[in-house]
Structure 1
Amino acid sequence: MELHQLRYFVAVAKEGSMTRAAASLFLAQPTLSIQIRKLEQEIGAKLFERLARRVVLTEAGTAFLEHAERALTELERGRERVEDVVGLRHGRVAVGVLPSVAAHLLPGVLAEFRAEHPGVTVNLVEHDVSREFEQLVQAGELHMAVTRMPVTLTGLDARTLVHEPIVVLVPPGHPLTGRREVALRELADEGFVCMRSGYGLRELADQLCAEAGFAPRVVIETGQLSIVHGMVRSGMGVALLPRLAASGAEHAVPVSDPVARRELGVVWRRTALESPPVAAFLDRLLAMCDGAGELTPAARGAAGAR
């Protein structure tokens, strides 16, 4: 069954005449008659009764007309929806994002994208495990993810967004309070407040301490970044965090070690960019980040100067 045959059938039913229907469709009448006969053969029933000056629907034709009209209506709606997506009037973008990035790096991107494309829905999926984001992007469950670099899975495209400094959060009155910077080795005897094992921020802290020659003496583990901040404020220990994740802390001292950086980037499947809304969101994200050096001006404004 061909789409044009449905259109021809509906036209004949409305006009009640092969001649008038052919004229409205800009077809030769014999061509229209042939197509209607082919449709009747496929349906397995006569759809029209041919009288002297007109044609009328048979009982089978009447039963089929409702469904043919509904099918054509749905196809037209589908075409309009596609046009909306292509024209960025409608659509959906699913973005994986680390919690600190969602709170401090993406709001500006989302605000501008929303202003330009109010009909496109952006779904943010927060997670603290970068490698799971890569798997979700590769599996097609996310269109893209803003995550820690470098990317480990093959077949994905990626680009660095920012290189983010690491800071140490210290309690009020701590000897390091007010220091311009601190070396990681100076923290070897400190008690650490950390995210639980398996979280990206914990992996980063453990890695930095190992590169400085010690293992952190963890006094408190948690699954909430806000609890890390609260425990440090209460004097339970210090915490190593990227600048974005440290936003809002009263006492954050920059770490001087050259390795004390977190590289954030965006990862995506190339085929995902076949969706105009996804491609437009990626363009907006890349436009707001310089991809080299420290935090961009937009990100620095969100995180605050430390």
Structure 2
Amino acid sequence: MEIRQLHYFLMLCKELHFTEAAYKLGISQPTLSQQIRVLEDELGQPLFDRLGKKTVKTEAGNLLEHYALQIVQQLENAKNAIEDLTNLNTGHLRVAVLPSDLDYRLTALLIDFHKEFPNTKVQVIPSIDILNKVLENEVDIGFGLAIQPDSRLNRIPFHTESYSLFVTKDHELADKGIILPADLVNLPLVMYPKGFSGRDLIETWCLSQKIAIDALMETGSATSLFQLVKAGIGATIQPSQLIESFQSLGIRAIPIKDSPTRNLEMFYRTDKYLSQSAKAFLNRMETFF
């Protein structure tokens, strides 16, 4: 059994379609079929059932997938550890973050990190599906809302933040010391679309406060939201710390009584080797916020 065959097998497990899996592997469909047959002959068990045009894993296929994933991950860990030993401060770090407000605030951290690790390639990937990206090994580390305990993941809480109402300095509410939940009713707002984690958190909080808000305009960009606030189109409800990035626009952040809060965590797979640069990135995130 060869590592190459396991990679072929795992791709077919993912796609459950011989032609599509072969295309993504860059090989012909007959070659893929032949290699799967070699595996099945060696194990003495069928790994897939071919039901017409449908391909499904057998019980033996499910078992091999479980162990093949571990084998491939451990091999990748070995390669990364040796690379870390021989080529310090090089490599590739992939991180997934909440879109818009969280990735926007990472610029200063990335600049500082690059000074210490100039040869490490960093990819910051905004996503609303961070957990699955980490579990599917599409990224090395996830930074997002706190998740439920999971034995497959190491979790590190790093920040808890409240929300404020952001308005222009000449807004009718600008002189208030604190905003009551009732003040938000019928207030023209510009917000993230529903389905964004920040918007859904606020909607859940509104239900707990027995109020409803209505967005006059929605956009998925933090920069766009604050430009709309500056233009006087509406106010917005965002993490309080964002005022540090947008105060120059002439915008004020007013605390909200019993405001929504969100707990942020970093998480990565327990079976994944973390390079020195990845560990340094985690440490910087803890102190940055």
Give TM class, smaller chain.
0.5 to 0.7
Does 1:280 find its partner at 2:280?
Answer: yes
How many angstroms does 1:147 deviate by? Answer: 0.9
Match of 2:255 in 1: 255
CA 268–80 in structure 1, closer or farther in 2 if over 3 Å, else same = closer
1:144-293 → structure 2 map (5 Å cutoff): 144-151=141-148, 155-246=152-243, 247-249=245-247, 250-286=250-286, 288-289=287-288
- 1:130-180 CA-to-partner distances (Å, cap 9, x unmatched) read xx0011011100111211224476622212211122111124432211222
Superposition TM-score, scaled by structure 1 size: 0.60
Amino acid of the residue matched to residue 122 of structure 1?
V
How many angstroms does 1:121 deviate by? Answer: 1.4
How many angstroms does 1:210 deviate by? Answer: 2.0
Amino acid of the residue matched to residue 248 of structure 1?
F
Match of 2:104 in 1: 103
Contact 2:191 2:219 in 1 (8 A): yes
How many angstroms does 1:114 deviate by? Answer: 2.3
Contact 1:192 1:220 in 2 (8 A): yes
In 1, distance between residues paired with 2:167 and 2:285?
A: 33
Does 1:86 find its partner at 2:85?
Answer: yes
Amino acid of the residue matched to residue 225 of structure 2?
V
The RMSD of aligned alpha carbons is 2.7
How many angstroms does 1:109 deviate by? Answer: 3.3
Provide structure 1 residue ranges, at least 5 long, that are not aligned to the other structure.
Answer: 1-78, 290-295, 297-306
CA 226–116 in structure 1, closer or farther in 2 if over 3 Å, else same = closer
Amino acid of the residue matched to residue 284 of structure 1?
R
Residue correspondences, number: 207
How many angstroms does 1:82 deviate by? Answer: 6.3
Provide structure 2 residue ranges, at least 5 long, that are not aligned to the other structure.
Answer: 1-77
- SS of the residue 1:271 aligns to: coil
In 2, distance between residues paired with 1:82 and 1:160?
A: 26
In 2, distance between residues paired with 1:94 and 1:125?
A: 7
How many angstroms does 1:195 deviate by? Answer: 1.1
How many angstroms does 1:267 deviate by? Answer: 1.5
In 2, distance between residues paired with 1:80 and 1:142?
A: 17
In 1, distance between residues paired with 2:112 and 2:190?
A: 36
Amino acid of the residue matched to residue 100 of structure 1?
D
In 1, distance between residues paired with 2:269 and 2:120?
A: 19
Match of 1:31 in 2: none
Contact 2:141 2:268 in 1 (8 A): yes
- SS of the residue 1:170 aligns to: strand
In 1, distance between residues paired with 2:80 and 2:196?
A: 40
Amino acid of the residue matched to residue 229 of structure 2?
V
Identical counterparts, % of pairs: 20
CA 134–115 in structure 1, closer or farther in 2 if over 3 Å, else same = same
Match of 1:135 in 2: 132
Match of 1:60 in 2: none
CA 161–191 in structure 1, closer or farther in 2 if over 3 Å, else same = same
- 1:18-65 CA-to-partner distances (Å, cap 9, x unmatched) read xxxxxxxxxxxxxxxxxxxxxxxxxxxxxxxxxxxxxxxxxxxxxxxx
- SS of the residue 1:121 aligns to: strand
Superposition TM-score, scaled by structure 2 size: 0.63
